[in-house]
Amino acid sequence: MSRYGFTQWADQIWQLERILIAHGIAVPRSSPFEEAALTLIQWDEVQAGRAEHDNKIDHRDIWRRALSLADFAEKIVLVQSHPDFSRLLPHLRLFAKTFDLSQFSSTPPQNQNNNKLFELYTAAMGMHVMSQCDVEDPNFSDGTNPDLIGVYSVRRWAIACKAMHSRSAKTFADRVREGVDQIERSPAERGIVLVNMKNTIDHNSMWPGWHDPNGDWYYCAFPSLVAARAPIIREFELLHSNLVAEFGKESEFYRQIFAGKKASMCIGLVYSTATGYSDEGGPVFTMLKTIHGLYGPVPDAEAEGLLEELNNGLHNLGHLPPVPAQPLPKQPGVP
């Protein structure tokens, strides 16, 4: 969720554009930036009754892209004063290209630029709590190094970013194994794997809509935020049960992939989308973001602490006044 309204979200995008221009990165006309910002401004006009909404069009795709870019922009704006901000510039140049930027939508495996933006997304999440950050250059990456290395607490940690494009437990294990191997080859002392799960979400079911007999589109809302989160929890629980089925027992999954490695058995699964839910003021359309944690049989307080901090970064809390952080949802059966 976000504390901003539509025009404030649009302002975050314009702030990011100014940062890009200041670093010599030209944003093309009719770019995702312009589309997203103008979408949010138009949405605000409709909500205020100053413009008419076209009910004949399903707007969810463009709204998801707009909300995602606004969320992305806020993350970048919040870390622009970080001493290692320049390490993000190779990734920021991706914004000058024309492709689907959204982290709130499903994108095909061929859209490698979108996968690279998840690396930027993660680096921005980590920078509020990590120092001496080194970010893998997306133009010269051969997939053998972690995407972010930095100092957290008293150690040098690596974060290996992976993207899922199916619900296959075997594929998930393969991606985690790749991340563990990258961490093992890195100069970091410890590391965690962070997996982008957005392509496993049915985003339209997370923001339901329907046609009436006249062909007009209407957008539905879950009865509560808890109900809106429930499909994500079911996706996570299904993956967990499929992993147990794939390896015979949960401990075997951790043994085969992590035994003798410096990577923590703490795995973060990032789910991001847009949704609607009802509160006392009526339907609310908003971002829905969470990191679910898979945790191994041995407690790892430092790794879990880093994952909690990344969760704060996911919600853009790193530079806000302190607020109680909700605990990450753990795997089924773990208290």
Nearest to 147 by CA among 159, 130, 155, 156: 159
DSSP characters over 166-195: S--HHHHHHHHHHHHHHHHHSS-SEEEEEE
Q: Is the pLDDT of residue 1 over 70?
A: no
Please state, in angstroms and as integers, the Cα–Cα distance from residue 106 to each residue in 36, 197, 263, following that order.
17, 9, 28
Q: Is the pLDDT of residue 321 over 50?
A: no
In this predicted structure, what is the pLDDT of residue 142?
A: 65
Q: What is the mean pLDDT of residues 74-101?
A: 93
pLDDT single digits (tens) 227-272: 999 999 999 999 999 999 999 999 999 999 999 999 999 999 999 9
Q: What is the mean pLDDT of residues 196-223?
A: 92
The residues facing 106 across adjacent strands are: none
In this predicted structure, what is the pLDDT of residue 122?
A: 97
Categorize the per-residue pLDDT at 329 as very low, low, confident or very high, splitting at 50, 70 and 90: very low
Q: What is the mean pLDDT of residues 167-182?
A: 97
Statement: the pTM of the whole predicted model exceeds 0.75: yes
Q: Is the pLDDT of residue 3 over 70?
A: no
Categorize the per-residue pLDDT at 34 as very low, low, confident or very high, splitting at 50, 70 and 90: confident
- 172 Cβ contact list (under 8 Å, min separation 6): 164, 195, 239, 243
Mean pLDDT of the chain: 89
pLDDT single digits (tens) 114-134: 999 999 999 999 998 999 999
In this predicted structure, what is the pLDDT of residue 334?
A: 32
**Is residue 273 classed exposed, middle or buried when 0-12, 13-18 and 19+ CB atoms within 10 A define those classes?**
buried
What percent of the chain has pLDDT above 90?
A: 67
Q: Is the pLDDT of residue 5 over 70?
A: yes
